[in-house]
Amino acid sequence: MPTHNPSFTVNDDVEVPDPASDEVWTVGAVILNRDGQAFAQKRSPDRRLFPDTWDIVGGHVEAGETVLEALAREVEEETGWRLTHVRRFLGTTTWMGDDGVGLRHEADYLVEVDGDLDHPTLEWSKHSAYDWFNPDNLARLKENRSPGEFLIHDLIARAIEDRPDKS
């Protein structure tokens, strides 16, 4: 039986990290549409971190927020959609940006949302485009990335391949 949050449900086997107060955490959401395609948005060329690259929905966990509260907030802020179900934990990645913040821990999840999936409300100051990805166009997720920087590509590829409703 999934755990119920006032605004979304979480499968019982979903791992939720409990960040230490001295750690910087981010969250990421892989959102699939009815056809099993994954949503990604392109970061604006003027962004300090990972400019002009494809990214999943996500961002920093703010003070006083749990990882899942941050996930719900970021989904709504970046797309206008509402998080309804946290289906699966996709793993934790540790990475370093070139912005002086230092080491970050990122918890990524496969989620379901409610809203008009054909018309996301992007933060146009931060993102320049969006698209839905499937095995036929996954290679585009590697645009403007160096070899070894294929986290987003690999994460989406795994989520599409292992999606729960795949027949």
Give the model's pLDDT for residue 21: 87
Length of the chain: 167
Q: What is the mean pLDDT of residues 41-61?
A: 94
Nearest to 152 by CA among 61, 71, 46, 38: 38
C-alpha span between 103 and 114 (Å, rounded): 33
Work out the angle at residue 108's Cα, subtended by the Cα atoms of residues 105 and 114, and round it to the nearest 5 degrees. Answer: 140
Is the pLDDT at 167 greater than 50? The verdict is no
Assign 14 a pLDDT band (cuts: 50, 70, 90).
Answer: very high
Give the model's pLDDT for residue 81: 97
Assign 5 a pLDDT band (cuts: 50, 70, 90).
Answer: low
DSSP 135-161: TTTGGGGGTT--TT--HHHHHHHHHHH
Give the model's pLDDT for residue 152: 92
List pLDDT tens digits, range 128-166: 999 999 999 999 999 998 877 888 999 999 999 876 565
For 3-161, the fitting CATH number among 3.40.50.700, 3.90.79.10, 3.40.50.10890, 3.40.1110.10 is 3.90.79.10
Assign 2 a pLDDT band (cuts: 50, 70, 90).
Answer: low
Give the model's pLDDT for residue 148: 73
What stretch of H or E contains 95? strand 82-96
Give the model's pLDDT for residue 96: 82
3-state SS assignment for residue 78: helix
The DSSP output letter for 32 is B
Kindly report the backbone phi and psi dihedral angles of residue 122, in degrees, each rounded to the nearest multiple of 5, phi listed first: -70, 155
Is the pLDDT at 51 greater than 60? The verdict is yes
List pLDDT tens digits, range 69-121: 999 999 999 999 999 999 999 999 998 877 777 889 999 999 999 999 999 99
